[in-house]
Each structure stands twice: as structure tokens, then as C-alpha cells.
Amino acid sequence: MLDTELDDEQRDHAETILESSNALLAIINDILDFSKVEAGRLELEVIDFDLRIAIEEVLDLLAVRAQEKGLEIASLVEPGVPSRVKGDPGRLRQILINLVSNAIKFTEHGEVIIHATLDQESEHLSTIRFAVTDTGIGIPKDRMDRLFKSFSQVDSSTTRRYGGTGLGLAISMQLANLMGGEIGVESEEGKGSTFWFTCRLEHQRGADTEEEFPLEPIEGQRILVVDDNQTNRAVLSQQLNRWGCHCEVVADGRSALDAIRVRASAGTPFDLVLIDSLMPEMDGQQLASAIRADAVLGDPVLVMITSSARRGEASRFHELGFVAYLTKPVKRSQLYDCLRAALGTRRHGESEKPQRLITRHSVVERKKYTKRILVAEDNPINQKVALRVIEKLGYRADAVANGMEAVSAVKRLPYDLILMDGQMPEMDGIEATRIIRQGESGAKRRIPIVALTAHAMQGDRDRYIAAGMDDYLAKPLQPRELAEMIERYVGDGTTVPEIPKERPGKGSRKPVFNRRALLARLDNDTELFDELVQVFLADCDAQFGRMRSALSQRDATSLSRLAHTLKGSALNVEAGDIADSARTLEASAAKQDWELVDAALKDVELALQKFKSVIVVS
């Protein structure tokens, strides 16, 4: 309803309904968790996950809430803290979300920070200390003893300002205890609070070498789908057939055993069986036991798909010999990656059952471990766009501001792709590429390098290719084109996220600010939109000051370069007037026509003032 056209009163009612529903849902979830604690039925999962990514997900979830109050929110994970651990990422996030949510709730100004440090470490375990610090109202000393008690709050009056069930901290204490840790608080009224907790997490096997199962192509693989739901069978078989698999579907466990037996006796056994957990007569667990108990049926890879995930269930299925465990609804790309990794366990030579269970967490995290991209770009707007697209695609990325830093970064880390700006201070992209290619001489590995350039003419493209670059992208960067380029060189064949292309505007006249075009190009990412505009305004003011200085010193080279940078930034935020004025200034400075330079700089200043007025009005 909120995505439709509503008048002010209707929107107010709809938003009230949504807020009230979310509040009630939070209360119900707290009470359900508390009832499990009281009954001793609260279970923990033990699966592989990435600790740093789990913390990032908490920040992503709560960032908007913090930004609405004007708060800074960030995390600091000390270098000694292991990333690849085993435990319950959901429950860990639950504690962090509760503590960070409380910190945001009770903080009006300042910041909320998550700080993770290594408390103790043994060969197989690490005890991690998490501290959530805020600059909020603090807690009176005489009321701190009631914090972790059930249905208890610091302010229990009927006129209290802040809502809640009084269960969140009590549940967090139980969860921390279950994870082998403890919880506490340090606070001073009026100066903020630090809630901390510890938990013990196992080390992943082979984490120090980042060992992963190899990815096996799924084209031509024989796969059996076992699911009593007709729609699920149709969806899965359609996807598998599109990927070139030989797929069969059955509706129950008995039919599955018959199909596996027929295939095995014919000498064409199934490579993998996708099994639904909840089926009548014979469920997924019983079917897996029957398959493993009968040697005649062969040894297909087993993958569990469930619509009713329960904590502790994944570990139980792992013991039964399942290689992977996914929850419905399964994303297409996750299923694809999961099947490739699951099939790869056979080539990995696992004897009885794999040491590591493949889950949606490990599927998502895999890309972030195995692929790393370097963005060499001095323009802050282009950096922001590139890093956001890379983040959405799920890869790791680093950014540097010139060619010298790019060359140094490549010596330190094995990058899988470099996005290289053609024009940068100190050392441009062409020279940096030549040095990188010289360093690769005789090596088996060659890093793909894609030029980011405002010059898309054939002659310019030839210069980039001659320098050793593999491809090029014209500025301003279009997120979908950038995503396609990245997937072309480091992707695994899965679908590129749908980032719509910019719709061309009517007529040739460029507006002062084309808000609609920028939002469309950013896939309606309003957070990135606001961030880019703020970065652009700050950069404009700084650039304009440098331009005045360059003009007073008659430094044509610096003035031309500054105008070129401003032009690129303006094009990136759809500020047409500023881009046109900067283009004129760049050309005038190159000719050292100081009368034209002076006039062009005044035009840049006027265009910038118009842009600021449009931003304020909108």
C-alpha cells in the first residue's frame, strides 16, 4: 500500500499500521524466545560463517535507523580476530542487533560502535569479546542491577519514553551463556554505555589456508528432485534443465528410492539428489538414511532443502551425510552456487561425509573470499559508484587514488580484476598498467585490467589495449554496464543483478540536476544517491578553491586537470550545467587563454550555485 499513491492522511494511517505491526512482531518474537529459554529448548546451530560479514549484516540492517537520528554507526574488528569460524551466526546477530538497537534507541547525538577483540585463543577455539558503545543517556547506577532480568526495564513508569518488552537483554544473556560466554555493561549516566558480551567460536577446518571445495560444472549432471509439492518440483526442474542438467522429479521417498535403484542398475546413477525435508510417509531424514544404508543405490551427493528450518537441524542432517542445507525460498543464484560446490565435494575426495556443511552463509561468503577487485580511481564519485556495485555483486574490493598506489597494492595482494582510471595524478593508468604487466612477465597469472575513461574514441581504446589493458568502460559509470564488465572477468555465469539502464531524457538541453536519471542509474538506491550528492558538493567546494589558486598562479596544467576531474564528477551526478562549464574551463586552460579561463571559472561558480539551490529546493 505504501508503494502506491496515497494522500497524507492515508499514508499516515498506513505507516502507523506498519510500525505497530513491526512492534507487535518484535514482542511476539521476544516472548517466543523467552519461552524456549524457560523450557530449556533454546538450541544453537554450529555451522561455518564469516564473523566480519555477520557484523556487517547487523550494521546494514540498522544503518537506516541510525541515520534517521543523525548518528554515526560503525564497527571495528581487531586484526587478531578470526574471520572464518563455526557457531550460530543467527543467534550472534540476534545479540548484536538487540544491543545495537538499544544503543540507537537511547542515543540522540553522537555514535554507536561495535568493537570486536580477541579475548582468548586455543588451537581449536577463540573467545571473542564484542562491545557495543554509545554516546547516549547512560544508566543510573542504582538501576543497573535490573537490566538483565526478565520483563524488567530501567524506566518502568507508565509515562516512560522508550518502549520494549524488557526481554531482549535477558534473552541475550541466555544466548551468551549458551555460547560459552557472559554479558555485562559499563555505563555512566549522561555519558553513554558500553554493553559487552563474550562467546566461544570454533575455528573452521583449513581456515588458515582458506581451503574451499572446488566448483564443479553442473551441465550434464544427473539430478533427482524429491518434493511432494508440485510447484516446487516444476520450479526446480525448470531451473536445472536451463542449466543443462539431466533432471528427474518424484513426489515422495518411495518413488525416489525406486528411481535411484533403476538408475544405479542401468550404470547411470544420479550424481546428486535434492530432497525436501517435510514429506508424508517418508521424510527427508528417513530417505537419506535409506539411501546411505543401501550400497546398491550408489553414493549420490545429498542436498537438503527445507521450508521449516529449526536450530540444530543442519548439524543433524550433516551427520546423516547431507553435503548442503538450504532454506526455502532458495534464490536462483544461491542454488546454482550450492550445487556446484556440493558436486565439487566428490572431486575433493571426501570419504564418508564432508567436514564442512555447505549453507546459504557459505554460498554467499564464497565469492567474498575467492575474488578481490582493485579500484584505481582518483574521483571520489566514481570510487563510490564502483565500490557500491562491487558490494552488491558480493566481491571484496579495495580503492586507491593513483597509479603508484595501484602498483603497490598489486604487489601486496593477488587481485582478480583491476578497474583502472586512465587519468590520475602522480602516475596515470597507462603507466601503472605497463609496470604491472612488466611485473607479470614470465608469470602464469595475468590480472585483467579494465580502463575507466572519459575518452571512448577508437584511438584511445587502442592506446589502452597497447598498454596491456583488456577492456574499457566509458564514464560516467553506468552501474549495470560496470556490473556486466565485472561478471565478465570474474563472474561464474550467474545472473548479474538487475540494475536498470538510464532512460534518456527528452530533448538535448541538459538540466541543472537530473534527479530522475541519477536515481535510475543507481537502481533507486537512495542511500547511495544522498551519499554521492553530499560527496560531490564537498568535492566541488574543495576543487573550486584549488581552481582559484591555480588561476592566480597561472598554473594551466593544474587548472586543466582540476576542471577535468570536476567535469567527470558532475557527469556522474547528472549535474549537466556544471559539467558543461567545467568542459569549457578545461579547454580554455589547455589553450592558456586566461581571459576565457576567467569567464569559464565564473560560469562554473554560477552553475554550482544553481545546483546547490536545486538540491535545497528538492
Q: What is the mean pLDDT of residues 449-457?
A: 77
Residue 49 pLDDT > 90: no
* pTM listed for this prediction: 0.42
Query: What integer pLDDT is reported at residue 492 of this predicted model?
Result: 52
Report H helices in 78-127: 89-105
Residue 215 pLDDT > 90: no
Query: Count of alpha carbons within 13 Å of 446, Cβ hemisphere only?
Result: 13
DSSP structural state of residue 211? -
Which residue type occupies 598? Answer: D
Residue 84 pLDDT > 60: yes
Which residue type occupies 266? Answer: A
Most confident of 197-201, 364-368, 568-572: 197-201
Residue 473 pLDDT > 90: no
Judged by average pLDDT, the poorest of 213-227, 238-252, 506-520 is 506-520
Query: What's the N-to-C CA distance of the chain in angstroms?
Result: 24
Residue 134 pLDDT > 50: yes
What is residue 7's three-state secondary structure? Answer: coil
Of 311 and 15, which is predicted with more confidence?
15
Most confident of 29-43, 166-180, 285-299, 447-461: 285-299
Beta bridge partners of 129: 117, 198
What value, to the nearest 5°, has the Cα angle with vertex 189 and ends 95 and 107? 50
Most confident of 14-18, 162-166, 311-315, 597-601: 597-601
Question: Cell numbers of 343, please?
Answer: 558436486
Q: Residue 453 and residue 468: Cα distance in Å, rounded?
A: 15
Residue 355 pLDDT > 90: no
pLDDT per residue as tens digits for the range 586-606: 889 988 888 888 888 888 888
Judged by average pLDDT, the poorest of 21-25, 69-73, 340-344, 535-539 is 21-25
Residue 7 pLDDT > 60: yes
pLDDT per residue as tens digits for the range 295-311: 888 889 999 888 665 65
Q: What is the mean pLDDT of residues 194-216?
A: 71
Query: What integer pLDDT is reported at residue 509 of this predicted model?
Result: 41
Q: Residue 78 and residue 65: Cα distance in Å, rounded?
A: 25
Contacts of 123 (CB under 8 A, 6+ apart): 203
Residue 160 pLDDT > 70: no
Q: What is the mean pLDDT of residues 513-537?
A: 79
Beta bridge partners of 201: 126
Of 578, 126, 54, 142, residue with least CA distance to 360: 54
Beta bridge partners of 417: 373
Query: What integer pLDDT is reported at residue 208 of this predicted model?
Result: 42
Which residue type occupies 242? Answer: R
Q: What is the mean pLDDT of residues 367-389?
A: 81
Query: What integer pLDDT is reported at residue 575 of this predicted model?
Result: 86
Q: Residue 390 and residue 418: Cα distance in Å, rounded?
A: 12
43 CB neighbour count, 10 Å cutoff: 15
Per DSSP, which regions of 111-171 are E strands? Answer: 111-121, 125-134
Residue 494 pLDDT > 50: no
Of 326, 393, 387, residue with least CA distance to 359: 326
What does DSSP say about strands 125-134 and 111-121: parallel, antiparallel, or unpaired?
Answer: antiparallel
| Rg from Cα positions in the chain | 29
Which residue type occupies 612? Answer: K
What is residue 184's three-state secondary structure? Answer: strand
Of 618, 617, 577, residue with least CA distance to 600: 577
Contacts of 30 (CB under 8 A, 6+ apart): 165, 167, 168, 171
What is residue 225's three-state secondary structure? Answer: strand
What is residue 306's three-state secondary structure? Answer: strand
Query: What integer pLDDT is reported at residue 496 of this predicted model?
Result: 41
User: Which long-range contacts link 390-394 to residues 24+ away (Cβ below 8 Å)?
Assistant: 390/486, 392/483, 392/497, 392/499, 393/367, 393/483, 393/486, 393/487, 393/491, 393/496, 393/497, 394/364, 394/367, 394/368
Which residue type occupies 104? Answer: I
Report H helices in 394-503: 403-412, 429-439, 458-467, 479-490
Sign of the dihedral defined by the CA atoms of residues 585, 587, 592, 593, in that order: negative
Contacts of 161 (CB under 8 A, 6+ apart): 155
Tell me how long the chain is.
618
Contact 372, 396 (CB under 8 A): yes
b vs e for 238-271, b when ≥16 Cβ sit within 10 Å of the residue's Cβ?
A: ebbeebebebbbbbbbeebbebbeebbeeeebbb
Contact 186, 194 (CB under 8 A): yes
Contacts of 472 (CB under 8 A, 6+ apart): 450, 451, 452, 453, 456, 460, 461, 464
Contacts of 79 (CB under 8 A, 6+ apart): none
The residue written with cell numbers 533454546 in the block is 42
Query: What integer pLDDT is reported at residue 3 of this predicted model?
Result: 66
Contact 163, 20 (CB under 8 A): no
What does DSSP say about strands 183-188 and 222-226: parallel, antiparallel, or unpaired?
Answer: unpaired
Contacts of 279 (CB under 8 A, 6+ apart): 226, 227, 228, 252, 253, 287
Average pLDDT in the chain = 80
Question: Cell numbers of 129, please?
Answer: 569479546
Read off φ and ψ for residue 537, nearest 5 degrees: -65, -45
Q: Residue 162 and residue 157: Cα distance in Å, rounded?
A: 10
Q: What is the 3-state secondary structure (H, E, C) of 566-593?
A: HHHHHHHCCCHHHHHHHHHHHHHHHHCC
What value, to the nearest 5°, has the Cα angle with vertex 581 and ends 580 and 582? 90
Residue 154 pLDDT > 90: no
Question: Cell numbers of 92, please?
Answer: 550472534
Residue 183 pLDDT > 90: yes
Query: What integer pLDDT is reported at residue 159 of this predicted model?
Result: 36
What is residue 220's three-state secondary structure? Answer: coil
What is residue 31's three-state secondary structure? Answer: helix
Which residue type occupies 228? Answer: D
Query: What integer pLDDT is reported at residue 158 of this predicted model?
Result: 35
Q: What is the mean pLDDT of residues 257-284?
A: 92
What is the maximal distance between C-alpha atoms in the chain?
90
Residue 326 pLDDT > 60: yes
CA dihedral angle for residue 149, residue 66, residue 163, residue 169, rounded to 10 degrees: -10
Of 242 and 183, which is predicted with more confidence?
183
Contacts of 477 (CB under 8 A, 6+ apart): 382, 385, 386, 452, 572
Question: Cell numbers of 106, please?
Answer: 537511547
